[in-house]
């Protein structure tokens, strides 16, 4: 590595020590976090994890997005923790609110009904704006237009193993566009008509459906019904240009017009997942076994003892969710004809 500092990055270690940054070029990539000012200490924890396990060696930028202005504490603390450049974006009102075609009374009745039925976040307006924003807008925020790759990070996550290579470069070099670490079944109460909308889209836009798609991940009857499997989108490393493609934008617009973000409680996880499984080729998806991850209440701890030792992992393999009955990851392996990692039987 060179000895000169890159502008806008945290200085490398004090004189005499080797630079922290890994050699080589960098991808046009950024971390991205949607957060409120009150999330500061929980996102600080996440950043510290990401920096310690990966980014201190790569110094990638970090974009923070919010529907209100970030305060000075949020900006000061996050800038001190991130080794790359930090950028703070305000979400435009048009991207965080009710579209004009939504019937407010109908939406309010749904929230009241979901509150009585105790559906998680069922009575929340802001959660719905958040899910719609993550589904259709974060990748076209002006600050994101400078980048080709993103890694989404939420508050309170943990990383348990060293990441010893550039994950963005891995995606690019292997033709990957979307990735995950945890998959599971969605609460059906939050998405009763999502699949009807997806099917309508498939009929209207056959040109957007990949021939070698992952329909088998989503459906057990060739697309007639949805099995509710989805990739958990609080972790994502992906291709921003795919999200900005006509195919994805047509998909989002079709769903948005049907109103399920407000008349139901569609999450961005099933929305991204259905899009990725139908519009990308199988081999454009990637499962990162070696990225050990926690977001309440699930853990992905890599299968394979030698791998965990090599990567200095500190997760308990017994907490790994992958081979649990509520995970869809076995199904993903099977449909792709991939061998499950060494040792999966004894670790389940």
Q: Which residues bind Mn ion (CB under 5 A)?
A: 154, 234
Return the one option of Mn ion, ligand GDP, none that residue 218 interacts with (CB less than 5 to 8 A, by type). none
The residue sitting closest to Mn ion, measured at its beta carbon, is 154
Of 168, 180, 153, nearest to 50 (Cα)? 153
Of residues 21 and 181, the one with the C-beta less far from ligand GDP:
181
| Greatest alpha-carbon span in the chain | 66
Give yes or no for a cis peptide into 297 (omega within 30° of 0).
yes
| Contact positions with ligand GDP (CB under 6 A) in 232-251 | 234
Mind telling me the catalytic residues? 236
x/- letters, 28..57, toward ligand GDP (CB under 6 A): -----xxxx--x------------------
Q: Shortest Cβ distance from residue 234 to Mn ion (Å)?
A: 5
- Per-residue contact track with ligand GDP, 166 to 205, x per CB under 6 A? ----------------------------------------
- DSSP labels, 189-249: GG-TTHHHHHHHHHHH-GGGS-TT--HHHH-SSTTSS---EEE-TTSEEEEHHHHTSHHHH
Does residue 155 bind ligand GDP (CB under 6 A)? Answer: yes
The single residue among 6, 22, 85, 154 that binds ligand GDP, judged by CB under 6 A, is 154
Q: Which two tokens stand for residue 264?
A: 């139901």
Residue 28 in contact with residue 147, Cβ under 8 Å?
Answer: yes
| DSSP string covering 57-99 | GT--EEEEEESSPPPHHHHHHHHHH-SS-EEEEEPPGGGSS--
Query: Cα dist. 324→142, 296, 305, 317 in Å?
Result: 40, 16, 18, 12
Residue 67 in the binding site for ligand GDP (CB under 6 A): yes
130 binds, among ligand GDP, Mn ion, none (CB under 5 to 8 A by kind): ligand GDP
**Closest separation in Å from C-beta 59 to ligand GDP:** 22
For ligand GDP, the binding residues (CB under 6 A) are: 33-36, 39, 66-67, 126, 130, 154-155, 234
């Amino acid at each position: 590595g060179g000895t000169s500092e890159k502008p806008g990055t945290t200085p490398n270690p004090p004189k005499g020590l080797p630079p922290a940054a890994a050699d080589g070029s960098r991808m046009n990539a950024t971390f991205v976090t949607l957060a409120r000012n009150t999330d500061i200490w929980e996102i600080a924890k996440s950043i510290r994890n990401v920096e310690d396990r990966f980014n201190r060696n790569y110094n990638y930028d970090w974009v923070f997005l919010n529907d209100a202005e970030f305060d000075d504490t949020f900006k000061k603390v996050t800038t001190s923790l991130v080794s790359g450049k930090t950028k703070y974006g305000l979400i435009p009102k048009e991207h965080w609110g009710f579209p004009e075609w939504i019937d407010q009374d109908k939406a309010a009745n749904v929230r009241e009904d979901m509150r009585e039925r105790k559906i998680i976040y069922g009575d929340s307006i802001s959660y719905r704006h958040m899910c719609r924003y993550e589904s259709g807008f974060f990748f076209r925020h002006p600050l994101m237009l400078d980048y080709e790759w993103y890694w989404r990070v939420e508050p309170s996550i943990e990383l348990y193993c060293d990441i010893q290579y550039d994950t963005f470069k891995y995606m690019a070099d292997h033709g990957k566009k979307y990735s995950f670490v945890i998959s599971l079944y969605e609460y059906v109460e939050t998405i009763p008509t999502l699949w009807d909308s997806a099917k309508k889209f498939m009929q209207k836009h056959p040109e957007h459906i990949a021939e070698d798609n992952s329909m088998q991940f989503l459906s057990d009857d060739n697309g007639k019904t949805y099995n509710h499997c989805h990739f958990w989108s609080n972790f994502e490393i992906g291709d921003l240009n795919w999200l900005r493609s006509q195919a994805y934008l047509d998909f989002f617009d079709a769903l948005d017009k049907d109103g399920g973000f407000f008349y139901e409680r569609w999450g961005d996880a099933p929305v991204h997942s259905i899009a990725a499984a139908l519009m990308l080729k199988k081999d454009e998806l990637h499962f990162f076994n070696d990225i050990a991850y926690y977001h309440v209440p699930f853990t992905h701890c890599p299968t394979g003892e030698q791998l965990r030792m090599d990567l200095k992992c500190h997760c308990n393999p017994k907490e790994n969710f992958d081979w649990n009955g509520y995970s869809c990851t076995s199904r993903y392996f099977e449909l792709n004809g991939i061998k499950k990692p060494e040792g999966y039987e004894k670790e389940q």
